[in-house]
Every structure is written in structure tokens, then in C-alpha cells.
Structure 1
């Protein structure tokens, strides 16, 4: 298991807990958990609390490009913690973190890189 708190990006990341997402998205707790199960969002536990990075939301909604990328990572055997680490760390082939590349409209490039990971 990856200890995300040891990653250089961890302290600079704004984390949203399930109650935050319930309020922001106007969804029930069970629907928010379903977003995690369906890879619409990726979560981890920090001090026992389920959280997701705020950067995964755009205009108050889950980033649409994230789901397919999260599915590719999951299909390649990545745990949610490993997927979060990859998404938030600078990738040499992208020149930025994958989430930054997704936010910049580089979905196909990010997914090609994700598919090549093992």
C-alpha cells in the first residue's frame, strides 16, 4: 500500500471529504460513494476519512475526463492510492501531472501514457 502522505504533492493538495462532496454536488452519501466505485472520482483514506483531491472537480462537477483514465489505471492493476499518486505526480512523458494534462484538454495523451503503465 502506498503511503500518500509521504508524497511531495500531498501537503499541497486540497482534500474534500464525503460531507464536502455531498454539499458541493447536492448528492446523497451513498451516491458519492457510488462515484468512487464507478471511478468517476478516485478516493483514499486520510486519518480514517475518505477524501478525494479538489482538483478532480471542475465547475462544481467531477472532471469528465477522469473516469476513463481511472478505469484504464484500474484495469492495469493500479489501486486507488497508486492511481492517485500517478495522477498527482509529475509524469516525465507529459511534462506535468496527469491531472493537469487532463485539465488542459490532453485526455488522449494521458490515456495513452496510462495504458503503457504496468
Structure 2
């Protein structure tokens, strides 16, 4: 596991809700196998809780994944993050964004979130 510094003052926030893979597949109107492929391709992020994979509800906006999410995830994984670390980064409170990076991905600050993720690799 790669080591990534997180300042003591940074506070993780909980996603608005968790959605299992069959429900994500239904939202996206795709088979569950396609959702699993999206996870492997880092177009979507899920973590295991009590043996079940869950996706944060706000990462899926209506019938699509948030536009900038796959790019941000690619940058985070290229920087050596694993699923849990990427989830922690996306859901760490940031006073300069509206809430946390995950929340900012669905608004005008999405490009700033991607820029910050890119800076992690250097």
C-alpha cells in the first residue's frame, strides 16, 4: 500500500449514501457485468463494506457517472492510490471546495478537483 500524507486537520466525510452494484446497474441501465468492468477500468469507484461492494450514490448523476470522475480516478490510481485511499481523498473535507472533492465533481469546480489530483503525482 502506498503512503499518502493526509493532514491531521483534514476530516473525512461520509458519502450521502451507498448503492450496491445491482442498483447502480439499474440506474445506468447496464448489466452488472458492465458495472464491474467500469470498476476495473477506474471509471467508477466502489469499496467493500461487510463483504458487499458499494458505490457512493453521488458519483452517479442520474443515468451516468459524473463526467470528470473517470479522469480523476485515473490520475489518483496513477499516483499510486488504491480504492480505499482514492475514496478517502475524494471524501476528505476541503474548505476551498464545496464540501469535498467528490461533491465538487458535480459542479463548476470539477476542473480544479482534477488539477489537484494531478498535483498528487508530483
TM-score normalised to structure 2 length = 0.81
Aligned residues: 112
Q: What is residue 62 of structure 1 aligned with on the other side?
A: 65
For 1:113 and 1:95, the matched residues in 2 are separated by 14
TM-score normalised to structure 1 length = 0.83
1:36-74 per-position Cα deviation (integer Å, ceiling 9, x unaligned): 111111111010001110000112211111000000000
Distance verdict in 2 for CA 1:16–1:69, change over 3 Å: same
Question: Of the two structures, which has the highest relative contact order with CA contacts closer than 8 Å and spacing of 6 or more?
Answer: 2
Q: SS at 1:51's partner residue?
A: strand
Please say if 1:9 is aligned against 2:13. yes
For 2:35 and 2:98, the matched residues in 1 are separated by 32
For 1:15 and 1:39, the matched residues in 2 are separated by 18
CA contact (8 A) 1:18 1:29 kept: yes
Q: What is residue 7 of structure 2 aligned with on the other side?
A: none
